[in-house]
Amino acid sequence: MRSAALRTVPAIWRLVTLICTPALPRTMLTAMSIDSRTLSEFGSIVGERGLISSPEELHTYECDGLTNFRVLPSAVVLPTSAEQVQSIVLVCHREKIPFVARGSGTGLSGGALPVENGVVVSLARMNRILEIDIPNARVVVEPGVLNLDVTGRVQPQEYFYAPDPSSQSVCSIGGNVAENSGGAHCLKYGFTTTHVLGLEVVLPDGSLVHFGGKNLDTPGYDLAGVFVGSEGTLGIATKIILRIVKRPECVRTLLAAFPSTNEAGAAVSGIIAAGMLPAAIEMMDNLAIQAAEAAVHANYPNCGGLLLVELDGPLAEVEALMAHVNEICRSNGAWEFRLAQSDAERALVWKGRKAAFAAMGRISPNYIVQDGVIPRTALPQVMSEISRLSQETGLRVANVFHAGDGNLHPLVLYDRRIPGQEQAAEALSFQILELCIAAGGSITGEHGVGEEKKMMMAKMFAEPDLDTMHRVRCAFDPLQLSNPTKVFPTPRLCGEKPGEYVPHPVESAGLAERY
């Protein structure tokens, strides 16, 4: 099938790529090519401008936001319509070519990492907002629409699109759907899945189907619920029906400085115990604060634990509750308070938090962003474990949390130039995830499993759990063409019988229940 002539091109490119991107540890720079007939078939579907097959250009697509995994795809196609996506997938299905859908490529778990000998389907050119329906609070978009643009379009009517991942100015709704993206405000408003009411999807066999709709509770299984967060393994969304939310009457953000994250964590528990559900509760430790200061001069107090508490709703309600929050923080040892009332003040307070990941570049040459979740009450214990691991390995760990829902973002700092340090940092980041599992939590709260954490899935779930998910995947994609190498720890064909149930190691040790 594949011509020898074409196969030689990537071999040359492999060298060039290595020169362009120095010191990539686990690179898999192969780009086996799809035969020329199939390639021209793709070209006739998407047009000349919609097909990328030259190695120089393919290079752009070899990784997403997780840059230490790279695979050169055989081709990238950029369809402009659902019909084109359908035609592409039909060809892939016929030729058994694996494909990976890609939005803006900002994902942090390697979900949009190409697969060898596969095609990347970039949805970047499908970026139209198709319908804005204010009376029903719905917006219909194509997958390439940027997250923040949805809010931008409905702002005049005093609505907003609630899920707000830190990358919201560049990430796409299609990518958000794949990853079930969260953000700081999902504590109150929920995740992407809460806001996706319906989908038009091209299934891996090329058929175009609809899940859910503008109306609630379409009879049948909640396929939209299963599809959102499936990390591109069940098909490609070509149209998404979103729910938008009315802007609250007022928003107030309190910044409180604590001696350490323990006191800050106790204040969070106090706020929850008092029966409040803030729009967001964010926490940063001292190292994260230092980095944010160095990067964006957010003018944060230099303290051991910083808390951002945002309340929104009716003015009288918010003011009454904010007074209570203030009291709770004070009684837990907070020594400095700043209350942001205007949009400008709020923007300043949030600036350091939103820039926290990128700010690590100011205090460390390299860093790994992790994404674990723990029951909020386990915070002090997990924090002290993290600090012990940090001391043992000599690697610094900065901590940024969505504290309200226990979503940790430990940032493991390292220097790639020091031999062995990257491996040590990676190992440490996975040890932190194991702490999360042992505490009854999860290996990912919003970044997805992707390529990065698929091996951790076997630690979080037992074999029957994974097998059941795999069976659902087989219903959607019996040939496993859609993002085939992601999420699941071990490749398995559809129809293959799993082995006997083996209790989870943590379970056997009596450390955790099956969950």
Partner 1 sequence: MTATISSIERNLCSVLGAEQIRSASPTDAVSGVQPQIVLEPTTERQLADSLRLANEDGFTVIPRGGATKLAWGNPPARADLVLSTARLNRVLEHAHSDLTVIVEAGCTIQTLQETLAQRGQRLAVDPLWPEKATVGGVLSTNDSGALRLRFGALRDLIIGVTIALPDGTLASSGGKVVKNVAGYDLPKLVTGALGTLGIITRAVFRLHPLPHNSHSFSIMTPNLAATRELIFAIQNSKLAHTALQSHFTDEAMPTSDILFEGTEAGLDAQAAQLRALCKPAELLEAPPAVWNTRQDLWSSSTPQADPEAASFVIAKVSLLPSDLARVVEFFHRAADSNRVRWKSLIYATGLGCLRLDGPSENLCHAVLALRSSLEKLGGSLVLLHRPAELFSLDAWGTPGDSLSLMKAIKHQLDPASTLNPDRFLGGI
Q: Contacts with partner 1 in 435-494 (CB under 8 A)?
A: 440-449, 453, 457, 460-462, 464-469, 471-476, 487
Q: Please state, in angstroms and rounded to a whole number, the distance separating the CA atoms of residues 210 and 140.
A: 13
CB 257 within 8 A of CB 321: no
The smaller minimum CB distance to partner 1, of residues 85 and 487, is found at 487
Q: Which of residues 4-63 bind partner 1 (CB under 8 A)?
A: none
Q: Which of residues 227-246 bind partner 1 (CB under 8 A)?
A: 228-230, 246
The smaller minimum CB distance to partner 1, of residues 216 and 344, is found at 216
The smaller minimum CB distance to partner 1, of residues 53 and 147, is found at 147
Q: Which of residues 271-290 bind partner 1 (CB under 8 A)?
A: 272-273, 275-277
Any contact of residue 508 with partner 1 (CB under 8 A)? no
User: Of 472, 41, 473, 418, which Cα lies nearest the Cα of 233?
Assistant: 473
Q: How far is the CB of 107 from partner 1 (least distance, A)?
A: 12
Q: Which of 29, 223, 267, 325 binds partner 1 (CB under 8 A)?
A: 223
Any contact of residue 130 with partner 1 (CB under 8 A)? no
Any contact of residue 262 with partner 1 (CB under 8 A)? no
Q: How far is the CB of 438 from partner 1 (least distance, A)?
A: 13
Q: How far is the CB of 60 from partner 1 (least distance, A)?
A: 26
The smaller minimum CB distance to partner 1, of residues 4 and 323, is found at 323
Hey, how many other C-beta atoms are within 10 angstroms of the C-beta on 417? Answer: 10
Any contact of residue 208 with partner 1 (CB under 8 A)? yes
Q: Which stretch binds partner 1 (CB under 8 A): 61-69, 160-168, 318-326, 362-370?
A: 318-326
Any contact of residue 424 with partner 1 (CB under 8 A)? no
User: Of 299, 309, 315, 359, which Cα lies nearest the Cα of 334?
Assistant: 309
Beta 119-122 vs 75-77: how paired, if at all? Answer: parallel
Any contact of residue 249 with partner 1 (CB under 8 A)? yes
Q: Which of residues 389-418 bind partner 1 (CB under 8 A)?
A: 402, 405-407
Q: 411: number of CA atoms within 13 Å, CB side?
A: 27
Q: Please state, in angstroms and rounded to a whole number, the distance separating the CA atoms of residues 293 and 154.
A: 33
Q: Which of 25, 314, 365, 394 binds partner 1 (CB under 8 A)?
A: 314
Q: Please state, in angstroms and rounded to a whole number, the distance separating the CA atoms of residues 115 and 100.
A: 7
CB 70 within 8 A of CB 14: no
Beta 208-212 vs 196-202: how paired, if at all? Answer: antiparallel
Q: Which stretch binds partner 1 (CB under 8 A): 46-54, 200-208, 333-341, 361-369?
A: 200-208
The smaller minimum CB distance to partner 1, of residues 316 and 509, is found at 316
Hey, how many other C-beta atoms are within 10 angstroms of the C-beta on 384? Answer: 12
Indicate left, alpha or beta for 471 from its phi (over 0: left) and psi (-120 to 50: alpha): alpha
Q: Which of 85, 374, 397, 428 binds partner 1 (CB under 8 A)?
A: 374
Binding mask 63-102 for partner 1 (x = CB under 8 A): ----------------------------------------
Any contact of residue 194 with partner 1 (CB under 8 A)? yes
Any contact of residue 133 with partner 1 (CB under 8 A)? yes
Q: Which of residues 146-185 bind partner 1 (CB under 8 A)?
A: 179-180, 182
The smaller minimum CB distance to partner 1, of residues 141 and 271, is found at 271
261-273 vs 315-331: helix crossing angle, rounded to 10: 140
Q: How far is the CB of 30 from partner 1 (least distance, A)?
A: 29
Output the DSSP codes for 243-292. Answer: E-EEPPSEEEEEEEEESSHHHHHHHHHHHHHTT---SEEEEEEHHHHHHH
Name every residue whose Cβ is closer than 8 Å to that of residue 387 and which is 6 or more positions away in sequence: 397
User: Of 102, 89, 111, which Cα lies nearest the Cα of 209?
Assistant: 89
